[in-house]
């Protein structure tokens, strides 16, 4: 039997207990001891070849009664016995091969690079299986199935394998009466079941191993509903690799030890193992509809060969049933209970509670009163909210955290949500006021994965930007009650978003387009209707232009889409009417207020420009134009502000950085309009097309906005007196402490050029001609390439000198132009090279004419080199990609 790497520690411990010869396991370092010599620094975990369980030589197990004599007994779903550091699990004969739910959550971490505390981990359907005198934990493969007792079920069983998670020897002979046996939990659960060694290697590029001998149980708990064991797991590496003498081409591959540990060779991580019975009666599964954004449990059903697909998609949802099914409004038999963990700061608990309970409005509309209940954990509550029986909201901190996450764990048979734990990082005020370093600016559109929600991290930056703007306008005192009210409203909005995830809802990034900017300036309107169609969008702070009416800063209530999505997932429907009733609900998808688009619609090949993070209003381009105007307002403040004696220049740096962050966030989204395609999830009958190219006037407006904001010669101008005073936090700064405006601007410009001159945009523009009746209503490649080239090289026709910042931009454009001439991939449309060749010839003529005019020596050298580069490219043979 092959044993995976994650089981080696447990296997070695099991073999040791039976005196089987094995290679030595490396000894963990003694804290503050000298490093081991290089000769002793071999691979930390030796490879082992493990015999099959049946071949393991075993001594006769000790009597059950002898082992548990003097031990503390915790009866429950799985009865536990504890004596000093040892814990045994009692397994009755009927508990072997009985499917049960197991989750492994992470209450304790190290506070950096993804290894955080208060995080929900894996969950699986597992069985305890006995092979001779070995007990195995086996994860059942629930992704594939067929009706029981059929030939298809046998075929599925033969086709797809289960997985082995852990093994341990049987520790006792059967109990005389119950016939139960004992298995040592220290052996069974002190292996790397969560595969943390892989995560640590990915984070730090170093090999850590699980150290069973220095791991222990912190708490154990068992009752009839659940058995929980919290492991304090020790991971170590024998030595820290020396830095390379020469930096390799890929710096990410260089070992980068943890920075938050007293000794980076050693760490303790917490894992909470929960075992509980699966619901005796699986909840009725509700089929998902792709027009509404729910998380789904997907399985492959091979019961027949008539259906066009084997995939079955069930909505993930809590079991919610009325106490009185006949009543229009009824309490549920069992409400959805969220516990506010004891580690949530007291000042935010009320906002957290309101954020959770806001969803009750959606459940009341479908007949449930108090569907959601919030409870506060106190010192009297001995349970850990990381167990599988308590949905929770927990706080966590770390040196580099800035996100919230709302995962859940489900019964794969039905999609029933069994547990959910929202983790909120501590960024509400601190990170919002933290200076954004130059190396922290991302040049790509926000990428959001449903598994990890970046709403809080991005909102923290939004909050900092908004507070700086409001402070500059004299509308906000950072130490006053107004600032606290903004922070509390922000907490509530983030909690509403994350609770939506734990109720089964995915992101909806099209929801921000359903109201006009004028409606958003009316606080009475947004308090009644919300700021967007859904709180599952990523919404920016709602800032008006200076002098305009100001509405609510953040959403305070659910949007119409949220009511609709909850109705589809949770409305009580008789089974006989379910298919028809769900079809009626989903058929409303073409109503403007129910607009939906999720992660893949925001970032995929289609690049739907109406599906964005951090936009507001029915005209995203107009919103982005206003945002850039507010950024320039903030920059004007930086250049005109006089600091008090002794005040740190860091405040100027912060405002300057926040302004740039808006350009980083906004311009990549504006680029999406060029060649953009609106993608709708409609089914037949709505009269709307699935794919519709962005109208030509909109594409031209976006292109003009880009050229005016990004490629215009005077787009970014700051006085030297301002730039020379943008001081950093000298206690926290890494890398160069000063600001390079040119480098920042060039990064923005290069990212925009990458997109505008990409094969993907070219293909979409050419394909758009197939989707409209009048081809003149499609932006042409010729117009795109000519507009970009004219904007980038505007000095050639204007007869002006070329500054250093402009020369850098022109070199970036030239690189991409030459690449289009020389190296063409198999997917590059032929029109790209032919059009760019014409543009290159035109540009060469314009540069030669400009060289005859009086310009600076630097500009003349730049143009001379560019003419030569173009000449060689035009003469060279084309290289096929991969040739």
Residue with the two structure tokens 């005209």: 619
pLDDT-based confidence at 458, cuts 50/70/90? low
Residue 877: its H or E element: none
Distance CA 140, CA 417 (A): 18
Classify 73 as helix, strand or coil.
strand
> Contact, 194 vs 207, CB < 8 A?
no
Decide the pairing of beta strands 391-396 and 336-340: parallel
pTM to 2 decimal places: 0.87
> Contact, 87 vs 185, CB < 8 A?
yes
Distance CA 413, CA 736 (A): 55
Distance CA 784, CA 700 (A): 9
pLDDT tens, position by position, 132-176: 999 999 999 999 999 999 999 999 999 999 999 999 999 999 999
Report the pLDDT averaged over residues 744-750: 92
pLDDT value at residue 213: 96
| E-state strands within 84-208 | 86-91, 100-108, 119-131, 134-139, 144-145, 163-169, 181-184
Poorest-confidence range of 7-11, 47-51, 144-148, 406-410?
Answer: 47-51
pLDDT value at residue 323: 97
Count Cβ atoms below 10 Å from residue 218 Cβ, excluding itself: 15
> Contact, 309 vs 338, CB < 8 A?
no
Asked if residue 432 has pLDDT above 50, the reply is: no
pLDDT tens, position by position, 49-61: 333 444 445 568 9
pLDDT value at residue 804: 92
Distance CA 819, CA 816 (A): 5
Largest CA distance in the chain: 104
> Contact, 569 vs 315, CB < 8 A?
yes
Measured in Å, how far apart are the chain's first and last C-alpha atoms? 45
pLDDT tens, position by position, 105-143: 999 999 999 899 999 999 999 999 999 999 999 999 999
pLDDT value at residue 733: 62
One DSSP character per residue, 579-636 reads HHHHHHHHGGGGSGGG----HHHHHSTT--TTS-SS--SS-HHHHHHHHHHHHHHHHH
What one-character DSSP code corresponds to residue 776?
G
Geometric angle at alpha carbon 508, from 502 and 510, rounded to 5°: 170
Look at the alpha carbons of 69, 70, 72, 75 in this order and tell me if their dihedral is positive or negative: positive
Q: How far is CA 366 from CA 361, 417, 535, in A?
A: 9, 19, 19
Which residues pair with residue 275 across a beta bridge? 102, 227
Higher pLDDT, 479 or 492: 492
Distance CA 52, CA 400 (A): 44
pLDDT tens, position by position, 762-800: 999 999 989 888 888 899 999 999 999 999 999 999 899
Structural tokens at position 416: 């029933």
Which residues pair with residue 410 across a beta bridge? 417
Which residues pair with residue 693 across a beta bridge? 677
Distance CA 532, CA 513 (A): 7
Asked if residue 27 has pLDDT above 80, the reply is: no
Most confident of 40-54, 473-487, 676-690: 676-690
Most confident of 6-15, 457-466, 861-870: 861-870
Asked if residue 47 has pLDDT above 80, the reply is: no
pLDDT-based confidence at 642, cuts 50/70/90? confident
Count Cβ atoms below 10 Å from residue 209 Cβ, excluding itself: 22
pLDDT tens, position by position, 232-249: 999 999 999 988 888 777
Report the pLDDT averaged over residues 255-277: 96
Poorest-confidence range of 13-22, 186-195, 257-266, 817-826?
Answer: 13-22
For residue 214, which phi and psi values (nearest 5 degrees)? Answer: -110, 20
> Contact, 186 vs 86, CB < 8 A?
yes
Domain limits, the chain:
5-244+255-277, 336-672+712-747
> Contact, 757 vs 788, CB < 8 A?
yes
pLDDT-based confidence at 438, cuts 50/70/90? very low
pLDDT value at residue 608: 87
Half-sphere exposure of 511 (CA within 13 A, CB side): 31
User: Considering only CA atoms, which of 613, 703, 711 is closest in space to residue 666?
Assistant: 613
pLDDT tens, position by position, 302-334: 998 888 899 999 999 999 999 999 999 999 999
Distance CA 663, CA 709 (A): 9
Classify 703 as helix, strand or coil.
helix
Asked if residue 392 has pLDDT above 60, the reply is: yes
Percent of the chain with pLDDT over 90: 66
């Amino acid at each position: 039997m092959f044993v995976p790497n994650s089981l080696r520690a447990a296997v070695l411990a099991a073999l040791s207990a039976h005196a089987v010869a094995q290679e030595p396991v490396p000894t963990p370092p003694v804290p503050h001891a000298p490093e081991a010599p290089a000769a002793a620094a071999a691979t930390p975990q030796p490879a082992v070849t493990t015999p099959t369980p049946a071949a393991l030589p075993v001594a006769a197990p000790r009597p059950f009664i002898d082992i548990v004599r003097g031990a503390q007994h915790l009866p429950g779903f799985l009865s536990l016995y504890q004596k000093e550091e040892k814990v045994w699990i009692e397994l009755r004969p009927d508990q072997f091969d009985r499917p049960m739910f197991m989750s492994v959550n992470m209450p304790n971490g190290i506070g950096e690079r993804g290894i955080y505390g208060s995080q929900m981990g894996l969950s699986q359907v597992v069985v305890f299986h006995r092979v001779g005198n070995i007990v195995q934990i086996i994860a059942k493969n629930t992704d594939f199935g067929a009706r029981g007792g059929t030939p298809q079920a046998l075929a599925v069983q033969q086709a797809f394998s289960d997985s082995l998670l852990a093994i341990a020897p049987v520790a006792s002979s059967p109990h005389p009466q119950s016939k139960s046996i004992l298995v040592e939990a220290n052996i069974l659960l002190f292996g790397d079941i969560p595969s943390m060694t892989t995560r640590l290697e990915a984070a730090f590029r170093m090999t850590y191993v699980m150290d069973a001998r220095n791991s222990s149980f912190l708490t154990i708990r068992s009752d009839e509903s659940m058995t929980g064991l919290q492991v304090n797991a020790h991971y170590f590496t024998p030595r820290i690799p020396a830095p390379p003498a020469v930096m390799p081409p890929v710096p990410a591959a260089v070992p980068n030890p943890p920075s938050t540990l007293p000794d980076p060779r050693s760490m303790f991580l917490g894992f909470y193992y929960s075992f509980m019975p699966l619901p005796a009666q699986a909840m009725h599964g509700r089929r998902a509809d792709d027009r509404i954004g729910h998380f789904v449990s997907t399985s492959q059903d091979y019961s027949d060969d008539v259906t066009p697909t084997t995939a079955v998609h069930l909505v993930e949802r809590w079991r919610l049933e009325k106490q009185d099914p006949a009543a229009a409004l009824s309490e549920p038999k069992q409400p959805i209970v969220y516990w506010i963990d004891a580690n949530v700061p007291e000042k935010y608990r009320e906002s957290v509670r309101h954020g959770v309970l806001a969803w009750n409005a959606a459940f009341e509309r479908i007949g449930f009163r108090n569907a959601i209940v919030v409870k506060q954990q106190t010192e009297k509550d001995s349970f850990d909210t990381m167990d599988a029986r308590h949905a929770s909201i927990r706080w966590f901190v770390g040196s580099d955290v800035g996100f919230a996450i709302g995962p859940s764990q489900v019964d794969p048979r039905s999609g029933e949500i069994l547990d959910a734990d929202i983790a909120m990082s501590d960024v509400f005020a601190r990170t919002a006021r933290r200076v954004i370093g130059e190396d922290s600016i991302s040049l790509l559109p926000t990428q959001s994965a449903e598994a990890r929600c970046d709403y809080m991290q991005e909102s923290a930056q939004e909050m900092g930007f908004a507070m700086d703007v409001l402070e500059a306008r004299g509308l906000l005192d950072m130490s006053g009650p107004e600032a606290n009210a903004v922070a509390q409203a922000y907490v509530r909005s983030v909690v509403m978003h994350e609770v939506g995830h734990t109720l089964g809802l995915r992101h909806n990034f099209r929801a921000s387009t359903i109201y006009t900017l004028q409606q958003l300036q009316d606080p009475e309107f947004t308090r009644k209707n919300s700021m967007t169609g859904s709180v599952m969008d990523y919404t920016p702070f709602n800032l008006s232009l200076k002098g305009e009416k100001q509405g609510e800063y953040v959403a305070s209530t659910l949007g119409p889409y949220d009511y609709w999505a909850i109705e589809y997932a949770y409305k009580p429907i008789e089974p006989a009417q379910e298919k028809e009733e769900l079809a009626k609900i989903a058929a409303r998808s073409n109503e403007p207020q129910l607009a939906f688009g999720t992660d893949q619609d925001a970032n995929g090949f289609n690049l739907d420009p109406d599906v964005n993070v951090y936009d507001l209003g029915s005209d995203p381009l107009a919103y982005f134009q206003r945002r850039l105007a507010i950024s320039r307002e903030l920059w004007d403040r930086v250049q005109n502000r006089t600091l008090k004696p002794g005040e740190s220049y860091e405040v100027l740096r912060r405002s300057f950085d926040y302004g740039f962050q808006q350009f980083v966030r906004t311009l990549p989204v504006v680029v999406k309009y060029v060649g953009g395609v609106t993608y709708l999830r409609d089914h037949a009958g709505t009269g709307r097309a699935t794919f519709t190219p962005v109208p030509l006037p909109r594409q031209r407006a976006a292109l003009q906005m880009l050229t005016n904001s990004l490629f215009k010669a005077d787009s970014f101008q700051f006085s030297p007196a301002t730039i020379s005073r943008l001081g950093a936090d000298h206690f926290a700064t890494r890398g160069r402490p000063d600001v390079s405006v040119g480098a920042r601007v060039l990064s923005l410009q290069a990212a925009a050029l990458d997109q505008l001159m990409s094969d993907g945009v070219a293909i979409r523009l050419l394909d758009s001609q197939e989707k409209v009746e009048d081809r003149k209503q499609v932006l042409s490649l010729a117009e795109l390439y000519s507009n970009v080239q004219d904007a980038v090289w505007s000095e050639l026709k204007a007869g002006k000198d070329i500054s250093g910042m402009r020369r850098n931009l022109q070199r970036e454009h030239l690189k991409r132009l030459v690449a289009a001439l020389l190296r063409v991939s198999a997917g590059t449309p032929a029109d790209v090279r032919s059009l760019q060749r014409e543009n290159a010839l035109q540009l060469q003529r314009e540069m030669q004419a400009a060289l005859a005019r009086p310009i600076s020596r630097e500009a003349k050298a730049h143009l001379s080199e560019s003419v030569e580069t173009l000449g060689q490219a035009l003469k060279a043979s084309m290289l096929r990609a991969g040739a």
